[in-house]
Structure 1
């Protein structure tokens, strides 16, 4: 009996060890998958614009696999607006279908495309920052998701139109992040959804020497409230000990956005 009890305990221990090993292997596999999951640095709209050679709003009318390189697909475009670069009718998609960065937009979908050269190939892909104007939302799960999303897209498009019409290829040449938390207190104004633009003079140590409002909001009282805040509460996030050889300029874009509830806010994002 004692031997049977010892054998029973031994086999139970073996089963537990086997289960533990399976669990450990599962965790390692999941961690490995997570480690190789596609991740992108969120550079923001102006950074994507600066680092791209071709920026356009276009409808993708045809997609075919690249016959020479399975990493790419070829896309034929119907151009709606070109913000930077030549008026291209064809472009590469970095599709990478066998990777965690797989990306293949739908035929007849409309995008703002940010395309840059990588290994000599002009293309756009998962991490390019493209804006999808054909995105759909579940009306039950996200009853106002589409409304907010497309309002935000329209404001971003205003930024690109401003940069393009004024031939401004490097609106933020040093890639500085900007914050103004006081803007969140500016509420209750009536205005159409639009952007304001501020031109900022920077010294060699990247301190702000002057700010000018070069594109104003339609509402004069809103314009004054935002400008007063921008003159006193802007924070620049810059690398430690970063300097520039000469004084320079950058642009900041301020967005006015009114929710469907009638609430409004202004933001640098």
Structure 2
């Protein structure tokens, strides 16, 4: 199962869009040293240095060239270094594609990136701090999501709910953190979530040591051509 964006955020100590000014591969035997300039900081403290573990012994090697722009999720290693790699989910903001070979790739990539940045901006503006202490995940049956098609929302494509989870992974309560600008839909969503949400734990574990909270994010996709509008959980 691919790691969800909200979980990447929760598990990271630094989330930002940034420019890579220079890359030093000589000073440190274990890391590439990146001199960076932050464009937008979503989580963590300002810094001008990030590290990428060199490929030897690393299961997630990558390279961020000079003069490129990125969305980065970084965490501290045992020595306090802010590091990231391919597995942490970085996205290049200025990535280009061969339009002849992949005519739709750039558009699709840009739209996906736009949704990610919109979500992060909403978290920052609303001061929502995702947490996921016990590696829980939520899902809905595909047929149940059919009920969320055909709605109209004028402003704001994101809604967030705090899900309070019992020790046996059952739903205890829901608290609205940010709702869609559609009162009828917002009322329906609470009932929909209560009836249809499934809460699981990675590793097929069925319990947690104590009651906990997780964040559920929903995104509104407007109608396009013959496709009705729809609402889906964040899963990218």
CA shift for structure 1 position 64: 2.1
Question: What are the residue-to-residue correspondences of 1:62-77 with 2, within 5 Å?
Answer: 62-69=22-29, 71-77=30-36
Matches within 5 A, 1:123-162: 123-162=83-122
Q: Distance in 1 between matches of 2:126 and 2:134?
A: 19
2:51 to 75, 89, 92: 92
Which structure exhibits the higher relative contact order, with contacts defined as CA atoms closer than 8 Å and separated by 6 or more residues?
Answer: 2
Structure 1 residues 204 and 60: CA distance shift in structure 2, 3 A: same
Taking the aligned partners of 2:100 and 2:146, their CA distance within structure 1 comes to 29
Aligned to 2:42: 83
Partner residue in 2 for 1:189: 151
* Structure-2 separation of matches of 1:190 and 1:145: 28
Q: SS of the counterpart of 2:87?
A: coil
Computing the radius of gyration from Cα coordinates, the structure with the larger value is 1
SS of residue paired to 1:127: helix
1:253 aligns with 2:217: yes
- RMSD in angstroms over aligned alpha carbons? 2.7
Shift, 1:144, TM fit: 3.3
Q: Deviations over 1:40-99 (max 9, x none)?
A: x84322222222221111111222214231x42111212111122110012112242797
Number of residue equivalences: 227
Judged with a 3 Å threshold, the aligned counterparts in structure 2 of structure 1 residues 126 and 188 are, in CA distance, closer, same or farther, namely same
Q: Which runs of 5+ in 2 are unaligned?
A: none
Answer with 184-193 or 248-257: which moved more.
Answer: 184-193
Asked whether the equivalents of residues 169 and 206 of structure 2 are also in contact (C-alpha less than 8 Å), the reply is: no
Q: Are 2:160 and 1:223 equivalent residues in the alignment?
A: no
Corresponding residue for 1:115? 74
Residue-by-residue CA offset, 1:21-47 (whole Å, 9 max, x unaligned)? xxxxxxxxxxxxxxxxxxxx8432222
TM-score by length of 2: 0.82
Matched residue, 1:47: 7
The unaligned stretches of length 5 or more in structure 1 are 1-40
